Amino acid sequence: MKKADVVEFYSRLAEENPHPETELESVNDYTLLIAVVLSAQATDAGVNKATRQLFRQVDTPEKMVALGEDGLKQHIKTIGLFNTKAKNVIALSKALIEDHGGQVPADRDALQQLPGVGRKTANVVMNVAFGRETFAVDTHIFRVGNRTGLARGKTPHAVEQKLDRATPQPFRLHAHHWLILHGRYVCKARTPECWRCIVRDLCAYKDKTPAPDARKKQQGAKQ
């Protein structure tokens, strides 16, 4: 995608949603970290449903350790891989207490040393909690980057690197939120809703999906 097209791409997303935010609910940096860890292979809506009551009771690593693994499981048992996630959350909470004074570190490498925290999770926390210009590549961003031609890559890290190089100011801080939301609600995996996409003319995807009414007409004509 040409530089001018990249600027136009982000400009349209920014105009539609000037102040994008994560859809994960949290009450502080610690609960944000926990929510992101729990969101792996799960929906934000599912995580929010499970954590609303949890975060009313538990909002520090000390309280999480006191709750314990079994107690945590009772709150998050509706989330996929909850057994492993509960183990990791308790372990990372202990690590925060022992190594960081109970505070979430504002350093990506330090975050990635915590149990259950990968690069994507660390990037989300760095961006949302600390205002860093990071690109957390999940399945939505990976798809949008490749499908549109904005940032093509065979791995999430390759897409992240290309986004980092291609994304100019003043779009860098909110870029990953715009791309996640676009992938979640418009540029969907199975059937992208190209007919209502505001960046359709800038997108490199060749098999653009027509509106539902147009598809019915096409199918009728074939019959």
187 is in an annotated binding site: yes
Tell me which DSSP letter residue 79 carries. Answer: S
**120 classed as catalytic:** yes
State the number of CA atoms in the 13 A half-sphere of 65 facing the CB: 12
Annotated active-site residue in 107, 138, 206, 222: 138
Burial of 223 (0-12, 13-18, 19+ CB in 10 A): exposed
Burial 125-135 (b: 16+ CB within 10 A, else e): bbbbbeeebbb
The response to whether 194 counts as a known ligand-binding position is yes
Query: CA-to-CA distance for 168 and 166, rounded, in angstroms?
Result: 6
Q: Which residue has the tokens 């975050």?
A: 111
Residue 197 assigned ligand-binding role: yes
Tokens at 26, concatenated = 């949290």
Other CB atoms within a 10 A radius of the CB of residue 27 amount to 13
Helix (H) or strand (E) holding 56: helix 44-57
Does 206 qualify as catalytic in the annotation?
Answer: no
Q: Per the residue annotation, which of 120, 154, 213, 216 is the catalytic one?
A: 120
Let me know how long the chain is: 223
63 is in an annotated binding site: no
CA pair distance 77, 93, nearest whole angstrom: 19
Rounded-to-integer distance, Cα 207 and Cα 20, Å: 28
Distances (CA, A) of 152 to 1, 49, 144, 165, 166: 10, 34, 9, 12, 11
Q: Which residues are annotated as a binding site for [4Fe-4S] cluster?
A: 187, 194, 197, 203
Annotated binding site: 187, 194, 197, 203
Residues with a catalytic annotation lie at: 120, 138
